[in-house]
Amino acid sequence: MSIEPEKLAIVLYPDPVLRQVTKPVEHVTPEIQCICRRMLELMHQAPGVGLAAPQVGLLLRLFVANASGEPEQDMVFINPVITADGKVTEDLDEGCLSLPDITASIRRPQAVTIEATDINGERFRVSSDDLPARIWQHEYDHLDGILIIDKMSPIDKIANRKVIKELEA
């Protein structure tokens, strides 16, 4: 793998890389750490609250997130495993840095626990029933090539039809 992290940029739908399933990260190498730092930088610049590797053209099982925007809240999730806590779901509006100008109400579990490896190669586990839970699930979907346009309601599909067509053109 030879990646120049400073050249990474956010890719937009319908780039086919957004539809592919990512591969687990074998080792948290200095290169992986550079990629993570660059992704955090791109996320803050956008600005956004999360960014997954396919969104910078990389088929790696990792994403970054920060619900508050405060630098000390930056989090890296490598090889994440996510599980719903309980059966409560809720509908919330989501956007996506790869789908500019699209907002869709998506139903997801309200509370989740996520286990992942951090930027230092340490395995950790966190839970949330708030915005972070929503972000983690959205970014996790990206690792399997799933986008919010796949999960939105028929009404949102109609509402966003023009913008989606423009992106596809």
Active-site amino acid positions: 139
Question: Within a 13 Å sphere around the CA of 26, how many CA atoms are in the beta-carbon half?
Answer: 1
90-119 binders of Zn ion (CB under 5 A)? 96
Residue 96 vs 167, nearer CB to Zn ion? 96
Q: Is the peptide bond before 14 cis (omega within 30 degrees of 0)?
A: yes
Distance in angstroms (rounded) separating the CA atoms of residues 142 and 18: 7
3-state secondary structure 77-124: EEEEEEEECCCCEEEEEECCCCCCCCCEEEEEECCEEEEEECCCCCEE
- The answer to whether residue 42 forms part of the interface with Zn ion (CB under 5 A) is no
Give the shortest CB-145-to-Zn ion separation in angstroms.
12
Residue 40 vs 96, nearer CB to Zn ion? 96
Q: What are the C-alpha distances in Å from 8 to residues 5, 44, 106?
A: 5, 14, 28
Give the shortest CB-37-to-Zn ion separation in angstroms.
19
Give the shortest CB-46-to-Zn ion separation in angstroms.
11
Residue 32 vs 43, nearer CB to Zn ion? 43
| Nearest residue to Zn ion, by Cβ distance, number only | 96
The count of residues interacting with Zn ion (CB under 5 A) is 1
Task: Give contact residues for Zn ion (rule: CB under 5 A).
Answer: 96
